[in-house]
Amino acid sequence: MSRFRRTTARARQLWIGMRLNPVAERALARRDEPVEDDIEIPSGIPPELDQSGDGERPERDFVPTGLAVGAAWSWRLLIIGAAIAVVLYLLSYVTTVVIPVAISFLLAAMLQPPAAWLIRKGWNKSLASILMLVAGLAAVGAILTFVVQQFIAGIPDFYDSIVTGLRDTQAWLESGPYGLNGAQVAEIVANIQDNITNWYDENQQAIVQTGVDVATSTASGLGNFAAGLFLVLFTTYFFIRDGRRIWTFLTGMLPRTASEPLRYAGGAGWSTLVQYMRTIVVVAAVDAIFIGLGLYLLKVPLWLPLTTLIFLGAFIPIIGATISGIVAVVVALVGAPNGLVTALIVLGIVLAVQQLESNLLQPFLMSRAVKLHPLAIVLAVTAGGFVWGIIGALVAVPLLAIVNGTVRALNRYREARREAQSRGLEGEDATAEAVRVSAAASAAERARRAAGSKGTGKDSTDTGEQAAQEA
């Protein structure tokens, strides 16, 4: 028998064996059976791993359930991670729009609650939004103007302090343990000046080219800054005025079964962001007051601009205030009388305030407001700074707070919907009931947090339901 005939005979035997395989026969027979829609798959197990079948997936006998579940989770997480990476990659090409919108979102979270209070008092929505936007801009402009004036006025004293410090250093080198005389010190200074001059002569052309590039980028940057500032003001106004309407429009493009829970979850995420912004303002104020008071008492030059820098840096949690505090230490070392001692005292004040923030403010304020662990905050700031620099570090924690609040709200909705279905509600009725109960629970939790108590009685529940209906 030729090789071709032997191969043909083996293929025929293999085909006959497959046709006579009982597992294959049952699979073929199931194709003609009607699909039952009321089969419930146990929660937490992917459909492809459901063990309700009668052995139609023989590999289940050889793959452990834990490994199969882990594999199912793995490929889903890989797809989600790839989608997030693609979104970030696309957003990196439109940073001129993304960054102003992100900043305006944070500003709206601070300005929208006062505007909503004015609207509840009978003010026109547009007038209240414009008033809060103008008031915020006026406050920021006044603070920056005052700080810049103080900075300009303090530069001469700071320069005199640097000159005095250099003279004291020269005197210490001459009379200190090194015993250098004036000629040796002058020679050292002359060598330093010669090195600087030689380096400048060798790199003069590169310096000129760098200056031209900086000037060109500065002109371009001013144009981008003006466009970004206009976009920030424009979007902040509409976020304050029509934020709810915008979110309702976006979620209205989805099916009702998805739009209602997502609309509720988005509102919960927004509430979390508002609480975060309130808390971060308090934390930044505490850091700036204590460290600024220490700088003032120690007579550190430029203490007011440094205090403002510490306040602004504290909007990047944990890391921002520490970095701005290091700047204050360097200024105290260079410009303050008894620079080394003063710098050590300033360093001690910065570390003490950071301990106060980490052990008191973060657990009792930040964790209660947004329910984020300090480790998650540090990792979010680091990742955001690595991806988008300072802006990424600024918006990383608010974004994480929104995601955390949204996911928690969706979990509450899922539990409420399961309970509604157990009472016999189905479809849109179950969705509406789940949203109502979830919103009432969220509002009751906010009321208890605002009251500073853990009451679970009827009064707090009624307050929560009333707030949910008003929302």
Instruction: Kindly state the tokens that stand for 259.
Output: 């739009």
Q: What's the pLDDT score for residue 406?
A: 85
Helix (H, G, I), strand (E, B) or coil at 250: helix
**Residues 290, 369: contact at Cβ < 8 Å?**
no
Instruction: Kindly state the tokens that stand for 135.
Output: 């008031």
The residue ranges of the chain whose pLDDT is under 70 are: 1, 14-61, 162, 165-166, 170, 172-182, 184-185, 189, 193, 196, 200, 204, 207-208, 211-222, 362-363, 366-369, 427-428, 430, 442-443, 445-471
- What mean pLDDT is reported for the chain? 75
Q: Nearest CA to 360 among 286, 412, 410? A: 286
For residue 237, give Cα distances in angstroms to 52, 109, 132: 56, 11, 9
Over residues 254-278, the pLDDT tens digits come to 877 777 788 888 888 888 888 888 8
Helix (H, G, I), strand (E, B) or coil at 85: helix
**Radius of gyration of the chain, Cα coordinates, nearest whole angstrom:** 33
Q: What's the pLDDT score for residue 363?
A: 66
Instruction: Kindly state the tokens that stand for 60.
Output: 């289940």
Q: What's the pLDDT score for residue 176?
A: 62
| 81-114 exposure pattern, b = at least 16 Cβ within 10 A, e = fewer | eeeeeeeeeeeeeeeeebbbebbbbbbbbbbbee
Q: Nearest CA to 353 among 325, 379, 323, 374? A: 325
Q: What's the pLDDT score for residue 445?
A: 67
As a whole number of angstroms, the distance between CA 455 and CA 126 comes to 38
Q: What's the pLDDT score for residue 78?
A: 94
- For residue 457, give the DSSP letter: S
Q: What's the pLDDT score for residue 468?
A: 39
**Residues 337, 299: contact at Cβ < 8 Å?**
yes
- For residue 27, give the DSSP letter: H
Q: What's the pLDDT score for residue 52?
A: 47
Over residues 414-456, the pLDDT tens digits come to 888 778 777 777 766 767 777 777 777 766 766 665 565 344 3
Q: What's the pLDDT score for residue 342?
A: 85
Let me know how many helices (H) and strands (E) the chain has, helices first.
15, 0
Q: What's the pLDDT score for residue 77?
A: 92
Q: Nearest CA to 273 among 467, 104, 452? A: 104
Tell me the whole-structure pTM to 2 decimals. 0.66
Q: What's the pLDDT score for residue 20?
A: 57
